[in-house]
Structure 1
Amino acid sequence: MFTTLLAIATIVAAILGAGVGYLATRPTITRLRAELADAAWQLTHDPLTGLLNRTGLRTIHTTVATASPLQRLVVMLIDLDRFKEVNDTHGHDAGDDLLVEIADRLAQVAHTYGGTVARLAGDEFTTILPLRHYLAGDIADRIVSAIAAPVNVQVDSGLATVTVTASVGIATVVSTDPLQDIALHRADIAMYHAKRQGPGRHVVYADGMTMPDRVHRRGPRLRDLRRDQRGSAE
């Protein structure tokens, strides 16, 4: 993808820099600009839900850190509970329908509070919100409630109504804190503690909080299942 993006950018730059045959090349320039924009979008967005992906999230985080280095942020890691049951019962297409609907709901909540949301992988999402007058726990409650509302998904026999819950880990950080090593890591730890309390719960990261041992984690998460499957294959 990086190679494709670079190639398109190089072609556009060459045509724009030539300054010859403006009228003749204008449609080509317009098309190449559109292709460049499309390639950039694919690089930073999840193709299923249209949300930011990890690359897009890093880009947004870097932009915020550069523009507002002292900005306090609320980072939430959201993991769906029992999502695997939907896939196993109704199929992966139904699971995709569910993810798209959940993504839309998360985006609405995040935008309400001036933040953004990304799909990290599988059934994992994250939000980054500016810390203002609201309580992070109140937003997490709203997120959990939005996700828990029934969703209609397409199945072979027509429509089926499914419900899932979510476990949410919350971390408050400064915009210049590393995204992966501090912000998401702390939210991940808190999220595992939320799962230990049962479905549909949220936990705020506190200093000294550590990742629970595997045997004491409650879930399991799809990430853990995939890791176990890789270990068994090896």
Structure 2
Amino acid sequence: MSLPLIMIATELVAFTLGGLTMWPFIHQLRNRLDDAIWQLQHDPVTGMLNRAGLLAAHATLTGADTAGPIIVALIDLDDFKPVNDTHGHDRGDDVLVAIGDRINDIAALHRGTAARLSGDEYAALLPAHTDDLTRIANTFVTLISQPVELTADGKPVTITVTASVGLALADTTDPFDEVALRRADIAMYHAKHNGRNRHAIYEPGLGMPAAGRRRGRRLRDRQQLTDEATA
């Protein structure tokens, strides 16, 4: 074998051995990157999508060839604070996980996706394969209100929470925050202030309840104001 060929073969062997040596490190970096991306788009308590993950899911729907109308559901638990005050935050988190599982199951049944936005607030995106929004909304309300069986201090505990649910139809091309989620938010507020443990469906022209009847700014609204102030 000529000297140049020997030199090339030696370099190829060295490159291959170097690649084999680096592979575990590259594999580890890739796993860390995948984990970091997962954490950026998922809620650490429930494992559901978080707000960023839901926005990404909506963007995927917008770019799909089969894009069409979607149903947006906004789900806000009623008076959840007493659960934490009575049973502690650990059991409160257990309840949030259990409720999140139910919401995930309903979303999956309709080939959609769900997320925990913040605190005791969830959302779901569902393809609009049906006009029967009332049935879907009632499913959310009914399943969420089923008792959650837990163990606290070694004793069985039954915790029941309810939710106010707002549903809205939107096109995938509609801005998510300004249109789709906003409509569901308005509907949810009407459910909240018409007695809770119920749903409302957005209709054109429906506006937010009078300021005096509302509970104050939502967590995400306060966060948006903070972000704008510090920008």
What TM bracket, shorter-length normalisation? Answer: 0.7 to 0.9
**Structure 1 unpaired stretches of 5+:** 1-17, 228-234
Indicate conservation of the 8 Å contact 2:148/2:158, yes or no: yes
Q: Is residue 202 from structure 1 mapped to residue 212 from structure 2 by the alignment?
A: no
Within 5 Å, which residues of 2 pair with 1:153-192? 153-156=150-153, 158-192=155-189
Indicate conservation of the 8 Å contact 1:69/1:174, yes or no: no
Q: Is residue 95 from structure 1 mapped to residue 92 from structure 2 by the alignment?
A: yes
Indicate conservation of the 8 Å contact 2:166/2:200, yes or no: yes
**1:82-139 superposed Cα distances (whole Å, 9 cap, x missing partner):** 2111111111111101000001111111000000000000000000000013512111
Go from structure 1 to structure 2 and tell me whether the alpha carbon gap of 1:189 and 1:19 turns closer, same or farther (over 3 Å shift).
farther
Give the structure with higher Rg (CA). 2
- The alignment partner of 2:206 has SS state of coil
Q: Is residue 21 from structure 1 mapped to residue 18 from structure 2 by the alignment?
A: yes
Q: Is residue 61 from structure 1 mapped to residue 55 from structure 2 by the alignment?
A: no
2:218 to 204, 223, 233: 223
- The alignment partner of 2:191 has SS state of helix
Within 5 Å, which residues of 2 pair with 1:3-152? 21-68=18-65, 70-133=67-130, 135-152=132-149
**1:182-227 superposed Cα distances (whole Å, 9 cap, x missing partner):** 111110000000112212111111111111123223xx48937x96
2:3 equivalent in structure 1? none
Question: How many angstroms does 1:32 deviate by?
Answer: 1.0
- The alignment partner of 2:25 has SS state of helix
Indicate conservation of the 8 Å contact 1:97/1:154, yes or no: no
Go from structure 1 to structure 2 and tell me whether the alpha carbon gap of 1:88 and 1:78 turns closer, same or farther (over 3 Å shift).
same
Separation in 1, partners of 2:22, 2:82: 54
What TM-score, normalized to structure 1? 0.83
Give the AA of the match of 1:109: I
Moved more, 169-178 or 146-155: 146-155
Give the AA of the match of 1:154: T
Give the AA of the match of 1:166: A
**Structure 2 unpaired stretches of 5+:** 1-14, 223-231
Separation in 2, partners of 1:20, 1:45: 38
Separation in 1, partners of 2:62, 2:123: 17
Over the aligned positions, Cα root-mean-square deviation in angstroms equals 2.1
